[in-house]
Structure 1
Amino acid sequence: MTEHRPRIYVSDHDGPDPHTTHPAHEYIELCGGPLDGQLLDITRLTAEERTTGALLITSHGPHGPGGRADYEPSTGEAGRWNWLGDVP
């Protein structure tokens, strides 16, 4: 049986292996929406950015390529951001 490794969110599809985490980095899980189950590297986010969330580029939402998925930190669970909806 193969081990399931979550996909790492990257907006650049020419980027590094989408399944490789780095030990010195901090990740949160995206929950719901088009990026459900992916991990987001928040290592370089400021404290304010970590509390407000992010609009993440995705081609899997209703707005097609270039659309954004809106995620914000979960109020009930650290390490998770919940999907709020999609924007163009």
Structure 2
Amino acid sequence: MDELMRGRVYGADHDDPDPGPQPGHVYRELVGGPLDGLLLDVTDWPAAQLAEGAALPTELGSFGPGGRAAYGPRAGDPRRWDWTGDVR
């Protein structure tokens, strides 16, 4: 299952024929945790949100449905967001 998710955009439908990145969009690579390898579309996100990171809904984390995986920008490489833990 991990290999199927790599290169996919977070939130893309599983049956989407083209779940990868789209031209003209800006992405962050999610590193570690339940969403490892997915790309997060941050097109049009404000700078403050990009600096803060995000808690993304996922059923794959420690808390199952209703849980979130928290990711934040990596020091020195803000294009990669590291997993900081699962939250409710």
TM-score (structure 2 length as normaliser):
0.83
Superposed CA deviations along residues 14-69 of structure 1, whole A, max 9, x for unmatched, are 89556232111001100000000000000021110000000000000110012000
CA, structure 1 residues 43+59, in 2 after alignment: closer, same or farther (shift >3 Å)? same
Distance in 2 between residues matched to 1:63 and 1:31, nearest whole Å: 19
Secondary structure at the aligned position of 1:55 is classed as strand
CA, structure 1 residues 17+9, in 2 after alignment: closer, same or farther (shift >3 Å)? farther
Runs of 4+ in 1 over 3 A off after TM superposition: 12-18
Point out where structure 2 has 5 or more consecutive residues left out of the alignment: none
User: What amino acid is the match of 1:78?
Assistant: P
Distance in 2 between residues matched to 1:86 and 1:20, nearest whole Å: 25
Point out where structure 1 has 5 or more consecutive residues left out of the alignment: none
TM-score (structure 1 length as normaliser):
0.83
CA RMSD of aligned residues (A): 2.3
Deviates more, 1:64-73 or 1:18-27: 18-27
Aligned pairs, how many? 84
Residue identity (%): 46
Which one has a larger percent helix, Structure 1 or Structure 2? Answer: 2
